[in-house]
Structure 1
Amino acid sequence: MARPRSMLVSVEDTPFYHCVSRCVRKTWLTGVDKYTGQSYEHRREWVESRLLELATIFAIDVSAYAVMSNHLHLVLRVDIYEANAWTDREVVEHWHNLFKGTDITQKFVKGEVIESFEVGHLKHSIAQYRSRLSDISWFMRALNEPIARMANKEDNCTGRFWEGRFKSQALLDDAAVLACMAYVDLNPIRAKVAKTPEQSDHTSIQLRIKSAMNGKQPATLLPFVGNEYKYMPKGLMFNAQDYLQLLDDTGRIIRGDKRGAINQASKQILDRLNIPQENWIKLTTEFSRLFKGAVGTLQALDIYCEHLERKRRQGAANCRKWLDGT
């Protein structure tokens, strides 16, 4: 039985989550449908543009993404501190970028007088919007529903475009986050639709590489902040260039044209995370098969399950085998 989303998300334990949405029809999300020969490649831009737009509206950061032929991978970071720091006006303005809101919230942002009997309704709406703007389910709804409507209109049909529920799994520590990001970023290489990360269209790794060529990081993605900023509240605790090098090395191994070629900088990252190279290749090629639930060391998994009052540690054996360095 599928668990309620509230039983999967514990921001107290981790802000990072791996989300996957899949198409329910044979018609492909993007690419060329092998059954009809029709190209839907333009839909990749629909998804990517909408995703990066939402990253500027929600208090949710995009760490990694890959828009594939019939599914979408995301690594998201929930930032409840950002949502709580917004003023009431900022909350409503963010919400109105996506939804109409109510007559009262419309009056509020226009600076019109709010009657005394409307104040309670306004406060309730603001509290509700603030919560939703840091909610993964609302983020995925705001992403998937417009794409489904556009695809249905183009296909001249009705009904579901996406599966009813998106998959969500908690990433409980740095090793789980980095392995999942690499798994997502290398999706096109594993699927043999791209030879290198820089050729992987509509992925976060391609966006990061393009920005790195100008000495920058993408404004729409969660940045790498490096080890020296480990106490910063927001950012990936690795060096951006080290991650790009690690992805390049890993991609070459996956393609099989340079087996075993993990350079020293990449090896240092894996050593820091206590992940042997063999485990790293397994993680970045079979992450979704290995882990169906929360991912992390056994200690992190124990704490997560305790907070959510879950007696069964789903996937504990694989967490021990591939992430505990044993």
Structure 2
Amino acid sequence: MQQSRSSQISLADTPYYHCVSRCVRQCYLCGIDQHSGKSFEHRRGWVERRLLELVSVYSIDICAYAVMSNHVHVVLHVDKKSAHTWSQEEVLTKWHRIHKGTLLTQRFLKGEPLSEAEIQAVTDTAEIYRGRLYDISWFMRNLNEFIARAANTEDECTGRFWEGRFKSQALLNESALLSCMAYVDLNPVRAKVATTPENARYTSIYSRIQAMKCNSNTSELLPFTGECKQHDSKLLPIGLTDYLELVDTMGRIIRDDKPGYINSNYAPILSRLGIKQIHWQTLTTSFEKLFSYAAGCEVTMRRFKQNTNRQRARGIKNAKLLSNAS
């Protein structure tokens, strides 16, 4: 039974969410279709460019993403506070970059004279748009509809391209966030699309590594601690080099020629989070299976269940994997 978005998203509990969109049946988003032999590799660029375009419009940041052959992973950070600092003109300008808006909002931005009733209508509409600009459902809708239309046009067909709804997981603490990010960034390695994170194209870790090589920041992605000189509360709770070491270590653990092997060269983040190696390996290889609508330690998951009026929180028995980091 499908759950309402209000039961899956609670900004009072966390601003971080893992979202997954999958293609219907055997449709290929990207990659090479084994049935027809047709290549859809160029569509990976569509998804990546659209994601980065939406980030420049929405008050939502991207922590991690991976564009796979028939699905897309993205870890999002909702910045509701920033959205409420935007002026009415900023809100309308941003919304008009991806939508037409209304006739009144168009006239307002052109500086045309409006009556008091019309100005009030514009104000009311702007507040609706403001709420949408930090809404994950609208973000994913603007991503998926754009890609679906482009793919259907290219395939010269109509009909549904994505599954009915995207899957959403709330990430309730730092260990849930970091393990999910590593899980997302390692998707191409697990699928044997790439041998190492640094050659896994169309992922956030690839983008970050390329930026690091050029001694620059990936401004479209939420920065790690230490990447920005100025104080910023919107920073991922780990240094970039530590995260890269973490992902690389986890990638070595899941190599085909070393099943179940735990590398003795621990990443620094493991000791700081207090997560046992076997737990971390389980998290970064089976994150989606372990947790459903939310992931975190038992306390945060129970609070999330209460705040979203759910009868139970699926996956709560696996919360012990994250409990040491809460």
TM-score class, shorter: over 0.9
Aligned to 1:247: 247
The 1:228/1:162 distance shift into structure 2, 3 A limit, reads: closer
Give secondary structure in 1 for the equivalent of 2:202.
coil
TM-superposed deviation, 1:325: 3.9
Aligned to 1:261: 263
Name the amino acid aligned to 1:6: S
Q: How is 1:2-17 mapped onto 2 (pairs within 5 angstroms)?
A: 2-17=2-17
- Unaligned 5+ segments in structure 2 are none
Aligned to 2:162: 162
Q: How is 1:25-174 mapped onto 2 (pairs within 5 angstroms)?
A: 25-174=25-174
Name the amino acid aligned to 2:97: N
Task: Give RMSD over aligned pairs.
Answer: 1.8
Q: TM-score, normalised by structure 2?
A: 0.95
Supply the distance in 2 between the matched residues of 1:95 and 1:197 (Cα, whole angstroms). Answer: 35
Supply the distance in 1 between the matched residues of 2:74 and 2:206 (Cα, whole angstroms). Answer: 14
Q: How is 1:277-316 mapped onto 2 (pairs within 5 angstroms)?
A: 277-316=277-316
Give secondary structure in 2 for the equivalent of 1:29.
coil
Give secondary structure in 2 for the equivalent of 1:162.
coil
**For the Cα contact (< 8 Å) 1:226–1:236, is it kept in 2?**
no
Supply the distance in 1 between the matched residues of 2:150 and 2:141 (Cα, whole angstroms). Answer: 14
Aligned to 2:238: 238
Supply the distance in 2 between the matched residues of 1:228 and 1:110 (Cα, whole angstroms). Answer: 36
Name the amino acid aligned to 2:265: N
Q: TM-score, normalised by structure 1?
A: 0.95
Percent identical among aligned pairs is: 51
Name the amino acid aligned to 1:51: L
TM-superposed deviation, 1:134: 0.2
Q: Does 1:18 pair with 2:21?
A: no
Name the amino acid aligned to 2:262: G
TM-superposed deviation, 1:214: 2.4
TM-superposed deviation, 1:175: 0.3
The superposition leaves residues 231-273 of structure 1 with CA deviations (integer Å, 9 ceiling, x where unpaired) of 8421101101110111111112212567433535x1x311222
Supply the distance in 1 between the matched residues of 2:45 and 2:127 (Cα, whole angstroms). Answer: 33
**For the Cα contact (< 8 Å) 1:13–1:172, is it kept in 2?**
yes
TM-superposed deviation, 1:226: 4.5
TM-superposed deviation, 1:217: 2.5
Supply the distance in 2 between the matched residues of 1:83 and 1:262 (Cα, whole angstroms). Answer: 45
Supply the distance in 1 between the matched residues of 2:257 and 2:83 (Cα, whole angstroms). Answer: 46
Give secondary structure in 2 for the equivalent of 1:237.
strand
Supply the distance in 1 between the matched residues of 2:29 and 2:304 (Cα, whole angstroms). Answer: 34
Supply the distance in 2 between the matched residues of 1:227 and 1:172 (Cα, whole angstroms). Answer: 23
The 1:86/1:59 distance shift into structure 2, 3 A limit, reads: same
Aligned to 2:322: 323
Supply the distance in 2 between the matched residues of 1:303 and 1:23 (Cα, whole angstroms). Answer: 33
Give secondary structure in 1 for the equivalent of 2:84.
helix
Aligned to 1:199: 199
**For the Cα contact (< 8 Å) 1:249–1:262, is it kept in 2?**
no
**For the Cα contact (< 8 Å) 1:274–1:324, is it kept in 2?**
no
Supply the distance in 2 between the matched residues of 1:138 and 1:275 (Cα, whole angstroms). Answer: 35
Give secondary structure in 2 for the equivalent of 1:255.
coil
The 1:228/1:262 distance shift into structure 2, 3 A limit, reads: farther
**For the Cα contact (< 8 Å) 1:105–1:122, is it kept in 2?**
yes
The 1:282/1:88 distance shift into structure 2, 3 A limit, reads: same
The 1:90/1:171 distance shift into structure 2, 3 A limit, reads: same
Large movers: runs of 4+ above 3 Å: 226-229, 256-259
Supply the distance in 2 between the matched residues of 1:210 and 1:196 (Cα, whole angstroms). Answer: 14
The 1:33/1:291 distance shift into structure 2, 3 A limit, reads: same
How many residue pairs get aligned? The number is 322
**For the Cα contact (< 8 Å) 1:66–1:202, is it kept in 2?**
yes
**For the Cα contact (< 8 Å) 2:44–2:67, is it kept in 1?**
yes
**For the Cα contact (< 8 Å) 1:227–1:237, is it kept in 2?**
no
The superposition leaves residues 127-150 of structure 1 with CA deviations (integer Å, 9 ceiling, x where unpaired) of 000000000000001101011011
Supply the distance in 1 between the matched residues of 2:85 and 2:4 (Cα, whole angstroms). Answer: 28
The 1:120/1:164 distance shift into structure 2, 3 A limit, reads: same
Give secondary structure in 1 for the equivalent of 2:238.
coil
